[in-house]
Amino acid sequence: MDNFQFLNYNGENLLKLDLSDFGIQEANFSIYLDYLHHPYLGGNKIRKLYGWLMRLDKSRNSTLISVSGNSSNYAFALAHLPQYFPLNICLIIRGHKPKVFHETLRNLIDLGTSLHFYSNQEIDSNLNSILAQLQEQYKNPLFIAEYGKNPYLNEGFESLFIENSPFLHADYIFCPVGSGATFEALKTYISPDQKLIGVSSFDSFSYHPYLLENEIWLNSLSRFGGFHPEIYKIMNLFLERYKLPLDPIYTAKMIWEVINAYRLNKIPVSKSVIALHTGGLQGIPVWKTRHNKKIQQIYA
């Protein structure tokens, strides 16, 4: 794990897709399956943490405290870090402690992660006092902000732009946006004649007003984590047509907006486009269970 070679651009993970099933002919479109580089560390999650992990004092055991949603791929990636680094993981989880734990929460528990549940309001208004309490309980506590935001988060994305990588000359690069950290990191590596477009998992800028300053599109399908029949449909179409899983929170929304942009001629088919698939797949069953009634209605 020390050299992180697996983060280097790997041509085997770039898949050129024929979008003619979607009525788009001869598009120069590829998707980069970044989640394939590691079974657990989750596409952009380990890229965001790379610089921080490189600076970690590996001679002593520490507790890494962070904040996450209750079915988040970030939490899932963090929970696997103790297999590779001298870390214990302690997570401040948004929302009430559920009576029954879903797959992701069960995974976290099985991996030895300590979970502390607080309401969104408590976390947003009182994070410092929550942290102060937890920091007293754990040995050598360290903190990383929600979504893995840290001062070194760009560094793990540099290896996508190594010599001969198509990321160096793609006309358009698309990435999903949650906190915008991945977008910000990619922005440092693209050249002025390339266009980086983020697709937000949110449908309103009221959550992230600062994103307005960038080339970030709101998704037109649902709020964060919400349901829309088009999300479900595109997930199924991609699985059937390309054997490619998309997650409902980030990557399905991104791909739907890319296809829509082709249809509206916002992207010329002649231009080369790469969409970054950031993973998130462990959350699919949780989302499906959460929206089971609405999924059933599609077939009613």
Ligand X SMILES: Cc1ncc(COP(=O)(O)O)c(C=O)c1O
Contacts to ligand X by CB under 6 A: 43-45, 73-74, 147, 176-183, 247, 250, 278-280
Residue nearest to ligand X (CB): 280
- The identity of residue 33, as a single letter, is L
* Nearest CB to ligand X, comparing residues 181 and 267: 181
* Cβ nearer to ligand X, comparing 226 with 279: 279
Tokens of 159: 């290896």
Considering the complex, state which of residue 44 and residue 150 has its C-beta at the smaller distance from ligand X. 44
24 versus 182: smaller Cβ distance to ligand X: 182
Q: Least distance in Å: CB of 116 to ligand X? A: 20
User: Whose Cβ is closer to ligand X: residue 156's or residue 178's?
Assistant: 178
Give the nearer residue to ligand X in terms of CB position, either 144 or 170: 144
CB of 112 to ligand X, least distance (A): 21
Tell me whether residue 24 or residue 91 sits nearer to ligand X (CB atom).
Answer: 91
Question: Taking the complex as a whole, how short is the minimal distance between the CB of residue 15 and ligand X, in angstroms?
Answer: 17
For residue 41, the minimal CB distance to ligand X (Å) is 11
Minimum CB separation of residue 264 from ligand X in Å reads 24
Query: CB of residue 290 vs ligand X: minimum separation in angstroms?
Result: 16
Q: How far apart are the C-alpha atoms of 68 and 146, rounded to whole Å?
A: 6
Give the nearest distance from C-beta 140 to ligand X in angstroms.
Answer: 25
**How far is C-alpha 287 from the chain's CA centre?**
15
CA distance 86 to 79: 12
